[in-house]
Structure formats: C-alpha cells, structure tokens
Structure 1
Amino acid sequence: MGEYLTVNGLRTYCEVLGEGDPVVLLHGGGVTADSWFGQLAALAERYRVYAPERRGHGRTHDLPGPVSSELMAEDTEALLAALGAGPVHLVGWSAGGTVALRLALRRPDLVRKLVLISTGVCRDGGTEADLAMLDEANTGLLESMFRPQYEPLSPDGPGHFPVVFGKWLQMWREEPDIGLDALAGLPMPVLVMQGDDDGVRIEHSAAMVKALPDAQLAVLPGTSHAAPIEKPELVSRLLLDFFAEERSARYLPLGALKA
C-alpha cells in the first residue's frame, strides 16, 4: 500500500507493508519502489517494510538544484523521523546503496543492519562497462531505460524528465566518492551483495568487506546489476537470513576476506 509523507519539503511516496521490526528498501537510480516487487511481500511476512521513492523518482517530485547521495541521505533521515522508525534494517541497491551508506555513516544509530547491493564506494570500483555507460555517446541507453518509468508517474510531468536525467548523470559521474577508509567507522553488521556479472568489480566488493569491521560478502551466480529482479527469491532469502537475530555458526573460518 502506498502513502505520502512530506519531509524536507518533499511530498514523498512510500510503499508500506507488513508488521514487525522496520526494514527500509532504497531503490536504484532512475527507477522506482516497484523495482522491489520481488522482495516486498517476502519481507513483509516478518517485517514492517518501507520502500520510499527518492526525490525526482517515481511519484516523488523534484526540487530545484542539483542532487547528491548526501542530500538524499538527509531526505531519508527526515523520512525515518517522520515515520518514527529506527533503528532499521537498511537496504540500498546501486545508487540507493550509496544513499544508504551515507545515512549509515552520518547516523549509525538509525541503522541496525546495512545491506549494500551492487554498490561501490569509489569510481574505480566499477567495471569498464559500467563506467562507459556514462560516456556522452552511451547515455541514450540509460535514457531509454529510465524515461518509460519516469513519465507515467512523475508529479512534475513527463516533460521534466530531461531535467532530472541531467541531474542524475552529473551525480553518477561524480559518485560514489566515499572511499574504503570511511568503512572502518561503521559499527553495524553489513552485507555486501552483488551479481557475478555486475557493474561493481568483485574484488572491489571484497575490499569493502575487508575494510568493514563486521561484514559478509554474497556474490550471486549468473546474475547482473539487477539481482533483486533476476533472482528475487534468492535475494529475499539472503536478506531474511542476514536480518535474523541468530547467525549460523562458522565451523571453519579461515579468514580469506580478512587476511
């Protein structure tokens, strides 16, 4: 069920399902809360699930000025305050993962556990193909992917797409710019997840896990940058396992990622 809340001057759309401890799902760049269709119902069987749409995405309007993951983290912090939710299990996918990470860094008290799906912490964490998508000659592909999702839903009207698309491109070309060193300050458990054919290099995700105090790595086989859509049941199962209070025993921990 969708509802609207006004936070940081934004009339923000948010899908809300289920009862229990709160889980917040932050969608990727250029898409909407609908991209979590494979996880919403499964998670809502045990949790109160919130899937907000960030500024300029889906049914949430745009505001004047540039956008950044830091600004969207501020929006998310205000949203959690309006919902009275926290600490939460926080899940971010792609650019939504950058927002989730920013929020965890600025307000670790609001994040019980953190999941980063297909999310790097610096530009050189991306594959060559991922970085090439943002070249001027290749942005038509991204436009063809995101325009059909934007135009039917945006309260700013279909004609506003070139404005938000330009803002997204600028942000994506400059971010992520957090760096590995910042991860050492995160106190909560973190699950780093990606596909084996993703836009994030597997060795970069492994470096993230090594830099984090308490982290796990999941590389999903036969999966691209769209793991929650391509393997929804597997992603849901991994999330539910990670959120569980008790962890499975590690019978032979040999430290491959922490050496």
Structure 2
Amino acid sequence: MTQGSYAHVNGLELYYEIHGSGAPLILLHGGFGSAGMFGELLPQIGAGRQVILVDLQGHGRTADIDRPLSMQEMADDVAGLIGQLGLGQADVMGYSMGGAVALQTAIRHPAVVRKLVIVSSAFRSEGWFPGVRADMAQIGAHTAQTMLDTPMYHLYASTAPRPGDWPTLWAKMGDLMRQGYDWSQEVAALKVPTLFMAGDADSISPQHAAEFFSLLDGGKRDGVWDGSGMTPHRLAILPATTHYNSVDSPLLAPVVTSFLDAPLPASR
C-alpha cells in the first residue's frame, strides 16, 4: 500500500510516500525533479524494504517556503522526517542534488543514517566538469520561461501546490548551484558506511568519484583474499552511463541492494 502524507518539519510541509514494509530506505530526487523519478527503480530495490520517497523543498508536492534552497537545511528536513516517523535510523540514498542532501544528512545527523548511497553527485563544487559549472552559473528565474514546453515543467505543474512558483524554483536553484563548497574534511570524517556511484560519462569524472572513495580510506591497499583489507565503504562506476540516466542503469539496483543488505561492520 502507498501512503502519501506531509510532515511538518522546520516550517516546511514536507511531502513523502511510503511503499512496502521492512528496513527503511529514504530516496531523494535530483534538482527540478520529484519523488516520481524513482518509479521504475522501486520494484527493483523495494523487496523487503519500507521505501520512503520524499519531495524536497520547492519540488513536487512540497510547497516552497521563505528560505533559500540549502543542502544543509534540506538535510535537516530529512533528519526531521526520520524523527517524526519514529524510524530511529534509515538508509538514505540520493541522486545529484539529492545525493548532496543525503551526504549532508550523514554529516550533520550521523546517528539517524544507517547506510548512505550517493549517486551522481559531487562533494565539492569543482568536482563538476567546467562546462557543467558554466551551465549551472546561467540558471535563474529567466530560465523558467524557456522551460515551459518541457516534460520537466509539465510534471511540476501537475504536482506542485503552487505551479506559479516555477520561476522562483529556478531562481533559487540558480543561487544554490552558484555556491562554492568543499566538504572534503567532512567526508573524511564519515563513519556511516557509504556507497558512492557515478556513471563513466557522468557530469563528474571517475577521478572525482575515486577521490571521494580515497577520502574514506578506500582503494589504498589490497583487500586481501578474505576481504579483511577492505573498508565498509564502496565505489561503483557504472559503464555507458551519463548523469541523466544513472538512476535508470540496470546495474544500479543490484549494486545498491547488495550494499544495503550486507551486514554492518562490527564497530563504527
């Protein structure tokens, strides 16, 4: 059974849906998207899990409020939802912007994150290719008009409580994307078992993905025949995959479920 509802967190009416039952997994969509982007993925990862789809601030069925878009504040919203639902801990997985929000959730609220999955995101702004950063810099309210005749807008208009907020979303997303950031130190301090995934033709380079893994002490030694040389963290580069179809990769779900199903390390 699917349950759609709202949680009042940090002044926001945060929309979420619950699918299935079992160990909780929260899925966080990318910028300009909504929870619906995971529709094809749900059957592949939902067996034996309570999958919770979230519409982040200003996206999907969650109306915007009078605050800037911030990875940190959206992470606080996710942690607030985990608390309101009485989950204690949940696995948190995010794509692109949602991946950055998932990462900030683990950084700011490590006690509520059991395992972390980041797909096609960057832990510092320079991790995005220069051309991608140049495109991000051009985004603003003026962009909204040019996007009216697109599936992205039609999906937004069909779900948003206030479709007229479309230009505001673009303005706030532009401000967010132009911000410089570097979370290297916070990543290096993570204790939450983390899987970092990217496409081999993503908007970030495989080297950036490998650097994330290296910050977690991964890939620095032989794993040894019995795996005792491995860390609890994992890295996956999806072949023939771009930023725009990474969630649709047939390899994504098996890698994610294998990671989530593996026992937690003896100590964290």
When the two structures are superposed, what TM-score results if normalisation uses the length of structure 2? Answer: 0.84
SS at match of 1:42: helix
Structure 2 gap ranges (5+): 218-231
Within 5 Å, give how 1:1-259 maps onto structure 2.
Answer: 1=2, 2-136=4-138, 140=143, 144=147, 146-156=152-162, 158-175=163-180, 177-213=181-217, 214-231=232-249, 233-246=250-263
SS at match of 1:100: helix
Structure 1 residues 94, 137: closer, same or farther in 2, change over 3 A? closer
SS at match of 1:30: coil
- 2:243 and 2:146 map into 1 onto residues whose CA distance is 17
- 1:186 and 1:226 map into 2 onto residues whose CA distance is 27
- 2:56 and 2:130 map into 1 onto residues whose CA distance is 27
Q: Is the 8 A contact 2:122 2:208 kept in 1?
A: yes
- 2:158 and 2:63 map into 1 onto residues whose CA distance is 13
Return the offset for 1:6: 2.3
AA aligned opposite 1:45: A
Q: Is the 8 A contact 2:139 2:171 kept in 1?
A: no
SS at match of 2:101: helix
How many percent identity over aligned positions?
32
Q: Is the 8 A contact 1:220 1:227 kept in 2?
A: no
AA aligned opposite 1:180: S
- 1:55 and 1:140 map into 2 onto residues whose CA distance is 19
Return the offset for 1:132: 2.4
Q: Is the 8 A contact 2:139 2:173 kept in 1?
A: no
Structure 1: 4+ residue segments shifted above 4 A: 137-143
Return the offset for 1:114: 0.6
Provide Cα deviations, 1:65-84, integer angstroms capped at 9, x if missing partner. 31110110111111111111
Return the offset for 1:22: 0.7
Provide Cα deviations, 1:154-176, integer angstroms capped at 9, x if missing partner. 112x221101210011001115x
Structure 1 residues 45, 186: closer, same or farther in 2, change over 3 A? same
Structure 1 gap ranges (5+): 248-259
- 2:74 and 2:161 map into 1 onto residues whose CA distance is 18
AA aligned opposite 1:220: L
Structure 1 residues 246, 73: closer, same or farther in 2, change over 3 A? closer
Return the offset for 1:85: 1.4
Q: Is the 8 A contact 1:118 1:194 kept in 2?
A: yes
Return the offset for 1:149: 2.7
Return the offset for 1:229: 4.0
Return the offset for 1:131: 1.2
Return the offset for 1:130: 1.5
- 1:137 and 1:155 map into 2 onto residues whose CA distance is 23
Provide Cα deviations, 1:46-101, integer angstroms capped at 9, x if missing partner. 11110110110000100013111011011111111111113111101101111111
